[in-house]
Amino acid sequence: MSGTRELRTRLEAAQAELQRSKVHLDKLRQHHERERDALQQELEAARREVAALQLRHEEALQAQAQQRAAALQQAVLLPAPPPVPPSALVALVRRPEPLDPAVPVLSRLTGLPPADVRLRAAMPLPCVMARVSVSEAEAMCQALHAEGFAAVSSEIPHPSAGGVMTVRRFTLEAQALHLEDARGRREQLPYERLMLLVRGRRLTLSVEKQLEWSLPEAQPLVGRRGFSVQELKVQEVKKEEHSQFLWAYAEGLRMVFTQGTQFQGLGARRGASLYESLQNLTGELHQRAPQAVRDDRLLALPRFSLPLVHEERGQELFAELLFQAVKQRVWP
């Protein structure tokens, strides 16, 4: 009998504990429902606030557009600025030996301080000494020639100027090079017209802006029950782009062979990589046009900087000076 009473006592205690748990669970459920309702109300309020901000932003943009349109209607048309006269680079094709006696003469003819003359004379040939107008460049070259210096000048073409053909396809025929660009324009260039082959590679730095979500440092927010809010930030990402090229020069035409070129025209000599294909193409052209000068120095100068010009055009204008020197038979 005592065992039965003990079991009954335990059962009653378990039932009482279960009843207390049910009561506690009901209270907890009611508390969660109240919390959920409060959060739902805050979410709806936040949505209404965002909608109001968007509407206000759109109204502000519309007002700015109307003000800008009204200002344009009332604005007085200003005369266009006068066109910038073309300029040219003057460069030495031969480095004076010895240099010291030539520095004062070069300083007088170019208007450069002696220290700048020494710095520019130490750069790869042709080394740029001045950037002047086209007429002044001709006069400066004549003065340099009169003093015994080998110099050339090259007009700086506009970046969108013609005379450049980006080759998409090519065919190596027996007597001529057949070319086709991305637009389908075709050219036939006899090998005897080739004058200069420039191999090189280019390193271009670019900065891209990306939008990223980030969480700020944890801190209590008033009215938000301590939740962190994501922030939209603009991140700048620097990228390096490597490219290789072959520039082939003829009178009135510059041909550009890059990664966009299809090298099926090489046949069995088509390389397994862009570098190998460009090297093989350069060798084939030089073999068929032995009179053409080959220059590979820009392969070792991917970020070549030329004085007085933008860095992005340094290699291009250096090759133009080299082409002028080849045409005048003062290079190599």
Residue that has been written with the tokens 């490597």 in this structure: 242
Phi and psi of 225, rounded to 5°? 55, 35
Q: Say which DSSP state 81 is in.
A: P
Number of domains in the chain: 3
Name residues whose C-beta falls within 8 Å of residue 81's C-beta, 6 or more positions apart in sequence.
none
How far is 164 from 213, CA to CA, in rounded Å? 44
User: Residue 300: its pLDDT value, please?
Assistant: 93
Residue 69 sits in the same domain as residue 104: no
Residue 310 lies in a domain: no
User: Residue 148: its pLDDT value, please?
Assistant: 95
Residue 211 sits in the same domain as residue 279: yes
Angle (CA) 102-106-108 rounded to 5° is 120
Name residues whose C-beta falls within 8 Å of residue 196's C-beta, 6 or more positions apart in sequence.
247, 248, 249, 292, 293, 295, 319, 322, 323, 326
User: Residue 56: its pLDDT value, please?
Assistant: 85
Residue 23 lies in a domain: yes
How far is 303 from 319, CA to CA, in rounded Å? 14
Residue 227 lies in a domain: no
Residue 175 sits in the same domain as residue 293: yes
Region of 308 on the Ramachandran plot (φ > 0 left; ψ -120 to 50 alpha; else beta): left
Half-sphere exposure of 249 (CA within 13 A, CB side): 21
Residue 204 sits in the same domain as residue 140: no
User: Residue 78: its pLDDT value, please?
Assistant: 58
Residue 203 sits in the same domain as residue 283: yes
Q: Which helix (H) or strand (E) holds 320?
A: helix 314-327
Contact 271, 264 (CB under 8 A): no
Note down pLDDT in tens along the chain; length 332 residues. 677 888 888 888 888 888 888 888 888 888 888 888 888 888 888 888 888 888 888 888 888 888 888 777 665 555 666 677 889 999 999 999 999 999 999 999 999 999 999 999 999 999 999 999 999 999 999 999 999 999 999 999 887 777 789 999 999 999 999 999 989 999 999 999 999 999 999 988 776 776 666 655 555 555 555 545 556 676 777 778 889 999 999 998 999 999 999 999 999 999 999 999 999 999 999 999 999 999 999 999 998 889 999 888 999 999 999 999 999 999 98
Residue 329 lies in a domain: no
Residue 181 sits in the same domain as residue 200: yes
User: Residue 218: its pLDDT value, please?
Assistant: 54
Residue 248 lies in a domain: yes
Q: Which helix (H) or strand (E) holds 177?
A: strand 176-181
Phi and psi of 210, rounded to 5°? -125, 145
Residue 56 sits in the same domain as residue 175: no
Q: How many CB atoms lie within 10 A of CB 95?
A: 15
Residue 285 sits in the same domain as residue 168: yes
Range of the domain at 178: 164-215+233-300
